[in-house]
Structure 1
Amino acid sequence: MYFCQMFLRIMKKGILVLGLLLMTVSCSEYQQLLKSTETAEKYTAAEELYNEGKAEDSNKKLRKSLRLLEQIEPEFRGKPQGERLVFLLADTYYQLGDYINAPFQFQRFLQLYPNSQKAEEATYKKASSHYYMSPRYDLDQTDTHKAIEELQVYLNEYPEGEFVESANEKATELRIKLEKKAYEIAKQYHHTEFYKAAIASFNNFISDYPGSPFREDAYYYRFDSAYKLAINSFQFLMEERLEEAKEFYKAYKKYYPEGEYIPQLEDSLSEIDKRLQNF
């Protein structure tokens, strides 16, 4: 039993040493390849590392491929392999999540090879790079607008393309993000009791985003802002503002006759009618 345990320990250590030795040899060969002037060997190794990196989701192999691709890409410009190399370079940035360099490289690919079979994929991934750079809704949305623009370019150029479903899903998600930002800004005015600004913002929101999932909420908070503005107004302004709130109530009821805010609206309407009797 003792000898069996000793044998197993020796075997485990041997396997570990062998693994480390192979890694050392592999790293040494890679470093030699980086220093080599053999572009053909570098091309083959770069493509192998790229394919393995994608298949295994290995950033380490993708980064190794990227270093080789960056070295040899200029050497193949104007040659048959150039098209493949420029695409691989762009897609390696994309696979690594470098969404700053990826769209630039895909754009360069499209300029150099506009008729390539990879043009559709490059157009989509260029747009997707901007999609992944889009921040959460409460931050600056410059990248979101850019992503929507680029996704629309793809959809216009390839209406029956391979990535249409994904592009539409991404574009819809980004539009909802913009809607949420606009809605939350208007709602913040309401919650901080800047009711005039809230009414104006909700008016703009309803006009700009007719199909928004936040539309019912916007109708309700527009009414509630008008109602609270009215009941807190000077007497000479109150009647007109109560009437405006009542119009907003009617607008909500028109589109959402069984909406979730009906109980609150009915309570507020009773107060409005009671106050209007005094005028």
Structure 2
Amino acid sequence: MKKRLILSILGLFLVSCSEYQKAFKSEDTEVKKEVAKKMYDKQKYSKAIRLYEIIAPVYKGKSGEEEMSYSFGMSYYNTKQYYLAAYQLEGFASSYPKDPRAEEAFFLSAKCFAELSPTYSLDQTETDKAIFKMQEFIDRYPNSTYMAQANAIAKDLRVKLERKAFEVAKQYNTIGDHKAAQVAFDIFLSDFPGTVFKEEALFLKLDSAFQLAINSVPSKMQERLNNAKGAYQSLVKFKGDSKFKSKADVMLEQIDKELQQFSKS
């Protein structure tokens, strides 16, 4: 029985391969289309793609293009060829907006761009594009069943942009360029007022202001100390029980101590 089952499976496999090879070599585009659909239904997406790539231009604007266009795009998506999938699925959704699968196709197209978004440390051009595409989907289908997923993906993408900008500002603090760090944190907080990194950004801005002040020449020290004190106040105003408060309090104590010499003079 076991041997018969193996032979049966092998026979089906050989028939499937033979059918595919014949279709691939055939000049008949209808045969190619039928076998491509069979390959798609069997989740043999790579084989389906090879056939679709040949016949897609032939069916442009003709009967059968709608079904083929969707299957073609989903084949790319299921093989994680996200650039091609995004293009094909967006094209399907735009060409056939009344098709019941258009909403899904448009969402998956936007999701493809999110999949192409690199880690935060790299150039974020693709992330900007992904946010734009996902927002476009949200605007087009405000009542979509995919809305929760779309919002979650968009949020993750925005956090990635926030982290990129935050790490750039943080790097200035790390290398000791405290004047540039303050400017970078000001820009960061202005661009991303609701950022998840706000507490740490406010503390690092304080740290940069503090380091710049206590290492200043006398003629600039008072102004910079007052600036650092303002940075402290911004931190505790934002979060009075900040996890950085004990370190911030130590800085404030030294700031006030240094400022006393100016009040005496």
Q: TM-score by structure 2 length?
A: 0.92
Match of 2:13 among 9, 23, 38: 23
Q: Is the 8 A contact 2:103 2:141 kept in 1?
A: yes
After TM superposition, the structure 1 stretch with the greater mean CA deviation from structure 2, 221-230 or 157-166, is 157-166
Question: What is the letter of the counterpart of residue 199 of structure 2?
Answer: E
Report the 3-state secondary structure (helix = DSSP H, G, I; strand = E; otherwise coil) of the residue aligned with 1:115: coil
Pair 1:154 & 2:133 matched:
no
Superimposed CA distance per residue, residues 71-101 of structure 1 (whole angstroms, 9 cap, x where no aligned partner):
3323333333211111211221111111111
Whole-Å separation in 1 of the counterparts to 2:72 and 2:32: 13
- Partner residue, 2:160: 177
- Aligned counterparts of 1:36 and 1:238: Cα–Cα separation in 2: 83
Matches within 5 A, 1:1-279: 20=10, 22-53=12-43, 61-279=44-262
Q: Distance in 2 between matches of 1:225 and 1:118?
A: 53
Percent sequence identity over aligned pairs: 40
Cα shift at 1:50: 1.4
Local SS of the residue matching 1:258: coil
Structure 2 SS opposite 1:74: coil
1:206 shift after superposition: 1.2
Structure 1 Cα separation of the partners of residues 171 and 48 of structure 2: 49
Distance 2:54 2:29 in 1: 9
**Larger deviation, residues 211-220 vs 87-96:** 87-96
Compute the displacement of 1:124 (Å): 1.2
Q: Report the 3-state secondary structure (helix = DSSP H, G, I; strand = E; otherwise coil) of the residue aligned with 2:241.
A: coil
Counterpart-to-counterpart distance in 2, 1:117 and 1:187 = 48
Shift of 1:154: 0.3
Measure, in 2, the Cα distance between the counterparts of 1:85 and 1:18: 31
Shift of 1:255: 1.2
Is the partner of 1:131 in helix, strand or coil? helix
CA displacement at 1:105 relative to structure 2: 1.6
- How many Å apart are 1:208 and its aligned residue? 1.3
TM score, norm. by length of structure 1: 0.87
Secondary structure, aligned partner of 2:221:
helix
Contact 2:19 2:35 survives alignment (8 Å): no
